């Protein structure tokens, strides 16, 4: 059987000879889109290591754009992501970086729209699996392969306990949780991976808690 491109052998289970460069890249782009909560007007992809060397030949560029457009790895529109970006008036650029990164397959994505911006650094670890290592300067370890909520909050006593209490009241089990802060007493970020999707009502209840400034959901 002859394939036109690597995308022809990547299915929903993310199989193929270069899933790190294609399925993983698409997944990072999709998580970035979910966290931005909108399609950006402009996006810059800063490529490191192996991503920087082979991004065109392995379809990493197309995969990243497709993810930003909201396409999952099994979406047939992924192969035409460049044309889809033009239709949706999404401006993009790829920047090759030479510095040492977290992992050979690393990309930093910077998205902008209406004066709002967000930066995210992700790595593709193989088999279509990814990790998000940084968000707007906060260090984190988000797999992107499970439902999760990200909670920006003031670094105050009781903030973490109040969020955990809401989830417990909804019988939502926490699989992994970590907290990152840039400076004591300032903004902090909770990353909570859970075992099931979180409904909008629960997000709104968390948003209404004291010291909470932003709540974002990442779903499978």
Between CA 85 and CA 103 the distance in angstroms is 28
Residues 110-132: tens digit of each pLDDT:
999 999 999 999 999 887 789 99
Fold of 148-218: Alpha-Beta Plaits (3.30.70)
Task: Name the pLDDT band for 19 (thresholds 50, 70, 90).
Answer: low
Q: Which residue has the higher pLDDT, 133 or 104?
A: 133
Kindly tell me if the per-residue pLDDT of 153 is higher than 50: yes
Kindly tell me if the per-residue pLDDT of 6 is higher than 60: no
Check residue 219 and give its pLDDT. Answer: 77
Q: Which residue has the higher pLDDT, 127 or 174?
A: 174
**How would CATH label the architecture of 6-142?**
2-Layer Sandwich (3.30)
- Pick the closest to residue 123 from 47, 218, 38, 42 (CA basis): 47
Q: How far is CA 135 from CA 11, 127, 152, 169, in A?
A: 28, 23, 11, 28
In DSSP notation, 101-162 reads -SSSEEEEEEEEETTEEEEEEEEEEETTEEEEEEETTEEEEE-SSS-EEEEEEES-TTHHHH
Tokens 């911006």 correspond to 117
- Pick the closest to residue 92 from 41, 55, 52, 21 (CA basis): 41
> pTM for the complete prediction?
0.84
Kindly tell me if the per-residue pLDDT of 4 is higher than 50: no
> What residue segments make up the domains of the chain, in order of their start?
6-142, 148-218
pLDDT > 90 fraction of the chain, expressed in percent and rounded: 65
pLDDT > 70 fraction of the chain, expressed in percent and rounded: 90
Per-residue pLDDT, averaged over 145-165, amounts to 94
**Average model confidence (pLDDT) for the chain?**
87
């Amino acid at each position: 059987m002859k394939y036109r491109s690597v995308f022809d052998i990547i299915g929903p289970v993310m199989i193929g000879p270069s899933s790190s460069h294609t399925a993983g890249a698409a997944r990072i782009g999709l998580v970035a889109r979910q966290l931005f909560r909108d399609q950006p007007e402009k996006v810059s992809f800063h490529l490191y290591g192996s991503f920087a060397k082979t991004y065109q030949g392995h379809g990493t560029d197309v995969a990243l754009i497709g993810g930003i457009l909201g396409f999952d790895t099994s979406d047939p529109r992924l192969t035409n992501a460049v044309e889809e970006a033009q239709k949706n008036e999404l401006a993009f650029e790829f920047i090759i970086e030479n510095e040492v990164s977290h992992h050979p397959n690393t990309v930093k994505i910077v998205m902008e729209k209406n004066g709002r911006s967000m930066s995210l650094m992700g790595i593709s670890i193989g088999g279509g699996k990814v990790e998000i290592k940084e968000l707007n300067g906060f260090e984190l370890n988000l797999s992107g392969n499970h439902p999760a909520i990200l909670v920006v909050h003031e670094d105050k006593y009781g903030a973490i306990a109040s969020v955990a209490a809401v989830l417990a009241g909804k019988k939502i089990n926490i699989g992994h949780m970590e907290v990152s802060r840039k400076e004591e007493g300032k903004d902090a970020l909770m990353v909570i991976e859970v075992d099931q999707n979180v409904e909008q009502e629960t997000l709104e209840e968390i948003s209404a808690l004291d010291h909470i400034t932003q709540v974002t959901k990442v779903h499978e």
